A = this chain, B = another copy of it.
Amino acid sequence: MLFWQNFFKNSILRDDEHSKQNNNHEELIILKQVAYNNNEIDVYFSTNKNINLYHLEQLCDEVGWVRRPLKKIQTAIENSFLIVSLFYKQNNKEQLIGFARVTSDHAFNATVWDVAIRPSFQGQGLGKILIHQVIHQLRESEITTITLFADPQVVNFYSHLGFLTDPSGVKGMFWYPK
């Protein structure tokens, strides 16, 4: 877990340096050098729930998810325990490039939903950083069981981050309306 230790150490250092600039946004730089359009740009991290829904919809469109009503998305965000977003700044405007949200009982369990990284930013470790941040935030809140439901193509991704599939034979199960 050396990467992770360094990662959080760097995050905290950078937090000290930068986060006081904008208390409303609880932002910190977590990666200074991500490639985008032949430039290197700063990627910021935020847990602010006041997220631009149209930007989120655009992100979800880009990763190919079925559109959902914005009003319901707003409700879901308000009632999530944790929202994590990654963004960069262009002309002082935030550009959303990563998102995840978590439901929880605020005590024992949490479930991660809607993990997305903008396709043009994939392959640079941002998904890993996003999930590390989710884990870090939940551990700060003393949540001990972090769960999620992984599509087949991302099971390995989560396995590498320490998530176990069906531990002790526990099975993820779904009920949908008929």
Contacts and interface: CB of A to CB of B under 8 A. Distances in A.
A109 B105 contact: no
B174 A164 contact: yes
Q: Is the interface of A mostly helix, strand, loop or mixed?
A: mixed
Most buried by B among A81, A149, A150, A176: A149
Contacts of A64: none
B155 A175 contact: no
- The oligomer's copy count stands at 2
B161 A147 contact: no
**Chain A: interface size category:** 35 or more
Contacts of A151: 168-170
Given A72-B107, A105-B75, A108-B68, A171 B149 contact: yes
Contact of A172 (B81, B113, B162, B171): B171
Interface in A77-125: 77-81, 101, 103-109, 111, 113
A47 to B, nearest CB: 16
B173 A158 contact: yes
Contact of A79 (B104, B111, B169, B174): B104
B155 A173 contact: yes
Interface of A: 1, 68, 72-73, 75-81, 101, 103-109, 111, 113, 135, 139, 144-152, 155, 158-159, 161-178
Given A75-B107, A79-B104, A166-B171, 6 more contacts: A75-B105, A146-B174, A155-B171, A164-B173, A164-B174, A165-B173
